[in-house]
Chain A
Amino acid sequence: MKLRTLGYYFRQALLGLRRSGWLTVAAVATVSISLFLLGLFILIILNVNLIARAVESEVEAVVFLETETPRETLGQLEEALRRLPGVAEVRLVTKEEGLRQLSEHFGPQHDLLRALGGKNPLPDCFRVRTARPADVPLVAQAAAKLRYVEEVKYGQGLVERLLQVTRWLRVLGTAIIVLLAMAAVVLVAIAIRMTVFARRREIGIMKYVGATDWFIRWPFFLEGMLLGLIGAAVAGFCLYLSYAMLMARLRLSLAFLPLLSGSQEVWQLVGGLVVGGIALGSLGSLISVRRFLQV
């Protein structure tokens, strides 16, 4: 293909976009909305999965001790916990260590820590990990019966609930996105059809003087692809911006949540949206070219 010919295709495609006017805007908007929602759902699902994995890896029982537990008994208690069936690992977290972890997480200047006024309200605790996550409830029950044990907590069930949320999101998201994608394809097809109609005289002459089919078709394909590309660019831009803003807020208020914040992943997603947009646009023009451009 000659470079000059490529230039011709682009000029014709851009002319087509301009000529279709509001239809171009509508097609771009529909492509944008469907891709934006697609990106949004993917981000939500990725994040929830991330949280679920973090929670899952933390499926351990935390055995909180009474505040006035004598220090000397800590060794005995640790030994007792270790002997419980199914237990793989027991780790002592003293209240000093707990406070240090907390200040690492929030930063030493955080309001929460300053509000404590230098006092440490945390109890000593043991983190008990089992060989199999399913054993956690039994271990927790047994641990609760030991002396000096105030309370045993574990996150069992949370993981399942989170994964269930993502399953629902996936079904709901797919349904909405499929519908929107179909609307986008139809609108692109209508926009291309308008251009075919506007150029029907030219197309007739092109056929009679012996233009190849692809020479006639390319500008229309290009127009569809451009519709998709512009739509994807708009969607990607909005998604990137709104996600960055959302993250900036969440990081302040929900600092403990492990969230997808690396811009690399978000850029990959935007790249995927662009590919998706071009695919939608191509599909739309393919339908119109096949139906209305009999060459």
Chain B
Amino acid sequence: MIRLYNVTKAYAGGILALLDVTLHISKGEFVFLVGPSGAGKSTLLRLLLRDELPTRGQILVAGRSVTRLKPREIPALRRSIGMVFQDFRLLEDRTVYENVAFALEVLEYSREEIRRRVPALLEMVGLAERARAFPAQLSGGEQQRVAIARAIANNPPLILADEPTGNLDAATAWEVITLLDKLHKRGATVVIASHNQEIVRAMQRRVIALERGRVVYDGAKEAVRLEA
């Protein structure tokens, strides 16, 4: 699903966000990306979304060469990725229902299709009762679940989450992680950037650790090494 080959990302001023990163994430995996802030986790996700281009190296997402994408091919890449942010990024002047419907409107789904899908999505994230509420009336965990419903509205095979529990307390953080786990069980590939050690340890999934832009630990490779 995701392949990075010797990816380096340098910003103006010589700041190295990523240095010679090579990693593979297969279809159907659930991966935690960990590391201190500034390690390059967010940069990595932005590169996968083609928000930015790497300075060097190759990136493949769902068989597409992200680095060779023409500008007009970017929307198709992003439609195959559901992106979840730490700060939810909901539209405050729209209801829960409208926030989720927005993603489908923008992708030019028909009215009937939107009417069919949105309630099902809200059902899945456990917010069917709050459809008419505004984001400000929801708890942080609920807001993040709305954001997840929006991210998966068009059924993307890949879900990327950048510190999805960063703004949440322990209890609501688990709501969100459980939901992402549920989506993983339904077939999505999930990559979560997080520095919530408790959750990462408890979940016991593949962990990729970044430090100063380098991969310092990759659960998949460690497993191979231990077996050998």
Q: Enumerate chain A interface residues (CB-CB to B < 8 A).
A: 2, 4-5, 8, 201-202, 204-213, 215
Contact = CB atoms under 8 A, between A and B. Distances in A.
B111 A211 contact: no
Nearest to A214: B72
A218 B74 CA distance: 18
B150 A209 contact: yes
Interface in B84-111: 89, 91, 102-103, 105-108, 110-111
- Secondary structure of the A contact surface, majority rule: helix
B89 A205 contact: yes
B108 A213 contact: no
Given A205-B106, A213-B75, 16 more contacts: A2-B108, A4-B111, A204-B89, A209-B78, A209-B83, A209-B103, A209-B150, A209-B151, A209-B154, A210-B74, A210-B76, A210-B78, A210-B79, A210-B80, A212-B72, A215-B108
A3 to B, nearest CB: 11
Nearest to B102: A205
Given A202-B91, A213-B72, A207 B108 contact: no
Contact of A211 (B75, B110, B150, B153): B75
Q: What class of interface size applies to chain B in its complex with A?
A: 20 to 34
B168 to A, nearest CB: 20
A270 B105 CA distance: 38
B77 interface: yes
Interface string B43-59: 00000010000000000
Interface in B114-138: none
Q: Which of A206, A208, A209 is packed against the most chain B CB atoms within 10 Å?
A: A209
A201 B91 contact: yes
B71 interface: yes
B49 A208 contact: yes
Nearest to A201: B91
- Secondary structure of the B contact surface, majority rule: helix
Interface in B148-169: 150-151, 153-154
B155 to A, nearest CB: 12
Contact of B107 (A201, A207, A211): A211
A213 B73 CA distance: 10
11 contacts: A4-B110, A8-B105, A205-B91, A205-B106, A207-B78, A208-B89, A209-B79, A209-B151, A210-B76, A210-B78, A211-B106
A5 to B, nearest CB: 6
A208 B103 CA distance: 9
Contacts of B108: 2, 4-5, 215
A234 B83 CA distance: 46
Nearest to B94: A202
Contacts of B76: 210
B89 A201 contact: yes
Contacts of A204: 89
A16 to B, nearest CB: 15
A256 to B, nearest CB: 64
Contacts of A207: 78
Contacts of B71: 213
